[in-house]
């Protein structure tokens, strides 16, 4: 992976910590809106991590493809992934 590993790991570990907190909130039968807000905050962090990973894919993997065919394949993978994100 060509993304900034420290940044991606920090974001993922933060999300993991938030998930643990959300689980505790559910176990404690906390207010639904508070739980929902924490879920959305965790989703935002995961989206930032994914953005870092996908940006690195474009900047490194696609750019450094050995052949036009390999570059096209990597671009197609990116487009398919983007389609899943935007659905």
Kindly report the CATH number assigned to the domain that includes residue 33.
1.20.58.1000
pLDDT tens, 3-62?
Answer: 899 999 999 999 999 999 999 999 999 999 999 999 999 999 999 999 999 999 888 888
Number of domains in the chain: 1
Domain boundaries, position 20: 5-86
Predicted pLDDT of residue 3: 80
The answer, yes or no, to whether residue 1 has pLDDT greater than 80, is: no
* pLDDT at res. 61: 86
Q: Output the furthest CA–CA distance in the chain (Å, rounded).
A: 55
Q: How many angstroms separate the CA atoms of 70 and 12, rounded?
A: 29
Collect all residues with Cβ–Cβ distance below 8 Å to 85 and sequence separation of at least 6.
50
What's the token pair of residue 57?
A: 């894919």
User: Looking at residue 54, what is its pLDDT?
Assistant: 93
């Amino acid at each position: 992976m060509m993304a900034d590993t420290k940044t991606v790991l920090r974001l993922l570990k933060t999300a993991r910590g938030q998930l643990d907190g959300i689980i505790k909130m559910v176990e404690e039968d906390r207010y639904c809106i508070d739980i929902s807000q924490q879920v959305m905050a965790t989703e935002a962090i995961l989206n930032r991590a994914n953005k870092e990973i996908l940006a690195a894919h474009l900047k490194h993997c696609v750019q450094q493809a050995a052949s036009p065919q390999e570059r096209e394949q990597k671009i197609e993978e990116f487009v398919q992934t983007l389609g899943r994100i935007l659905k």
